[in-house]
C-alpha cells in the first residue's frame, strides 16, 4: 500500500496536530493507563504527538512535543483537507476519533519526512477500538511503499514489516480499552510489547533494512474506527516508556 498524496505539500500521516506548544500545558493527566509526563524529549525524537486539553481548542487537541513541533494535518476520504488544516493552526475541536477514511498525516517539510529512521528505533502507540476487524491505525511509508503497518482490532494486533518479511500477529484480551503498543529495534532484534508485556520478536535479517533505507512519512487512521491518544517515534532504542519503573 502506498500512501496517497493530495495537497500541494505532500501529506503522509502520523498522529495529531499542534495547538500551541506552550510548556505550561505540555502534558495533561488524562484518563488513560499511563501518563506521559516522564517521557524524555531529545533530538532523536522525530515526532511525539499527544492528546492534550488546551485553551483555544473546543476539545482535546493533539500537540507535537518533539523538539521539531511538526503538526499533523487531516485528509478526508476524497483526499481533501479536513480539520486540522494548514490554515487553522492545528485546532481539532474534538478527540482524535477516526472513522471511514479520515486520517492525519505528516507533510514533506516535516522532520520525520526528512530523516532516515535507521536500524535502531522505538515507536510508542496508544490507541483503542471496539471493531472486530483489524484495520491499519498507523503506517509509515515512502517512495518504496509501506515500511510499517500496525493494525488493531478489539481482540488482536497485527504488525507488518515488509522489508523484513515479517507479520507479527498477537491475540489480545477482548475489549475496547486503551492498548499501549511499543515496537523497538536495537540493530539486531525487533521486539513488540503490549501493555508492558513483550509478546513477539525476531532477529533482523542481515542486509535488509528494518523499515527502509529512505525517508518515511506517517499516516494515522485511513479506514480505522477508534481513537488514538499518543504516537511517538524515536531514532534510537529508548526502552518501553509506557512502563514506569
pLDDT band at 185 (very low <50, low <70, confident <90, very high): very high
pLDDT band at 87 (very low <50, low <70, confident <90, very high): low
Which residues partner with 52 through β-bridges? Answer: 61
Which CATH number applies to 23-28+39-234? 2.60.120.200
pLDDT band at 52 (very low <50, low <70, confident <90, very high): low
Model confidence, pTM: 0.81
Which backbone phi and psi does 211 adopt, to 5 degrees? -110, -70
Residues 137-183: pLDDT tens digits? Answer: 999 999 889 999 999 999 999 999 999 999 999 999 988 889 999 99
At 106 the three-state DSSP class reads coil
Pick the more confident residue, 56 or 68: 68
CA atoms within 13 Å, Cβ hemisphere of 26: 14
Chain centroid to Cα 243, Å, comes to 18
Domains in the chain: boundaries: 23-28+39-234
Which residues partner with 33 through β-bridges? Answer: none
Amino acid at each position: 500500500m502506498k500512501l496517497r498524496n493530495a495537497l500541494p505539500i505532500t501529506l503522509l500521516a502520523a498522529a495529531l496536530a499542534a495547538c500551541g506548544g506552550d510548556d505550561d500545558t505540555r502534558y495533561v493527566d488524562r484518563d488513560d493507563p499511563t501518563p506521559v509526563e516522564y517521557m524524555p524529549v531529545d533530538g532523536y525524537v522525530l515526532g511525539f504527538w499527544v492528546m492534550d486539553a488546551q485553551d483555544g481548542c473546543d476539545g482535546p487537541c493533539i500537540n507535537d512535543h518533539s523538539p521539531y513541533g511538526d503538526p499533523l494535518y487531516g485528509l478526508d476520504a476524497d483526499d481533501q483537507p479536513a480539520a486540522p488544516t494548514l490554515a487553522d493552526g492545528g485546532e481539532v475541536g474534538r478527540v482524535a476519533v477516526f472513522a471511514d477514511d479520515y486520517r492525519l498525516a505528516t507533510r514533506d517539510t516535516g522532520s520525520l519526512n526528512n530523516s532516515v529512521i535507521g536500524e535502531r528505533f522505538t515507536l510508542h502507540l496508544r490507541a483503542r477500538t471496539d471493531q472486530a476487524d483489524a484495520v491499519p491505525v498507523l503506517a509509515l511509508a515512502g517512495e518504496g511503499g509501506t515500511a510499517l503497518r500496525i493494525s488493531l482490532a478489539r481482540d488482536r494486533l497485527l504488525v507488518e514489516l515488509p522489508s523484513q518479511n515479517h507479520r507479527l500477529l498477537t491475540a489480545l484480551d477482548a475489549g475496547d480499552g486503551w492498548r499501549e503498543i511499543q515496537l523497538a529495534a536495537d540493530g539486531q532484534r525487533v521486539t513488540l510489547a503490549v501493555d508492558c508485556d513483550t509478546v513477539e520478536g525476531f532477529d533482523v535479517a542481515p542486509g535488509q533494512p528494518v523499515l527502509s533505507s529512505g525517508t518515511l512519512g506517517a499516516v494515522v487512521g485511513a479506514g480505522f474506527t477508534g481513537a488514538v491518544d499518543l504516537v511517538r517515534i524515536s531514532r534510537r532504542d529508548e526502552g518501553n516508556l509506557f512502563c514506569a519503573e
